[in-house]
A and B are shown apart, each in its own frame.
Chain A
Amino acid sequence: EAGVTQSPTHLIKTRGQQATLRCSPISGHTSVYWYQQALGLGLQFLLWYDEGEERNRGNFPPRFSGRQFPNYSSELNVNALELEDSALYLCASSPTTSLLAGELFFGEGSRLTVL
């Protein structure tokens, strides 16, 4: 069974540009979560999608946005990139909205570098 896949693995952009990151959850998982892992800051919750809808977002500005497609894959968009957006962006999926059903399954991440 394929795990959570993310693309691209690495992405280099300049300030002011836009970045798009993609995530495919494990087959059968309907919930997708996005986290930002900046150096020394641990994992910060960005967005949660389930059944095609944005269910919740973390404390990030509106230039961080995304969507979930009918096949449950997801896209994270970061507009007007700033230097501090440089981080590893992790996508995770779960089979249900209730995390009591199990755990989060993580992809290997997309490393965004903003120059």
Chain B
Amino acid sequence: AQSVTQPDIHITVSEGASLELRCNYSYGATPYLFWYVQSPGQGLQLLLKYFSGDTLVQGIKGFEAEFKRSQSSFNLRKPSVHWSDAAEYFCAVTSGTYKYIFGTGTRLKVLA
């Protein structure tokens, strides 16, 4: 079955600390992978996407993610977290059609 797993429901980090949000997927076809961020009361905004090529992709707001096919993972990282990064983060996968599959999200809290 196709699925996306974000094993961490909540993560708390101190401002300035590094961050890694985990995403694992199960998908039969070649996956196209995305990370979205949702601030409170807002819709989802695309952080970055992976279609092909270099497995380390750079996104907006200083985020990056690495695609590891052998581990079926697409973890999101940021070297130094800012208080404004507090939000909910969603990993998603598609084969390029209408069918997006979203993870259940990871809520990030940033301590001052």
Contacts and interface: CB of A to CB of B under 8 A. Distances in A.
Interface of A: 4, 31, 33, 35, 40-43, 45, 48, 55-56, 90, 92, 97-100, 103-104, 106-109
Interface residues of B, number: 22
A68 to B, nearest CB: 13
A92 B98 CA distance: 11
B102 to A, nearest CB: 4
A33 B102 CA distance: 14
A48 B51 CA distance: 22
B96 A100 contact: yes
Main secondary structure of the interface of A (DSSP, over half): mixed
B100 A104 contact: yes
B12 to A, nearest CB: 18
Contacts of A106: 36, 43-45
Nearest to A41: B104
Contact of B44 (A40, A41, A90, A100): A90
Interface of B is mostly: loop
Given A106-B43, A106-B45, A100 B99 contact: no
B104 A48 contact: no
Nearest to A100: B96
Contact of B98 (A42, A43, A55): A55
Nearest to B51: A100
Interface string B63-107: 000000000000000000000000000100010111110111100
Contacts of B103: 42
A45 B32 contact: no
Nearest to B6: A42
Interface in B34-71: 34, 36, 41-46, 49, 51
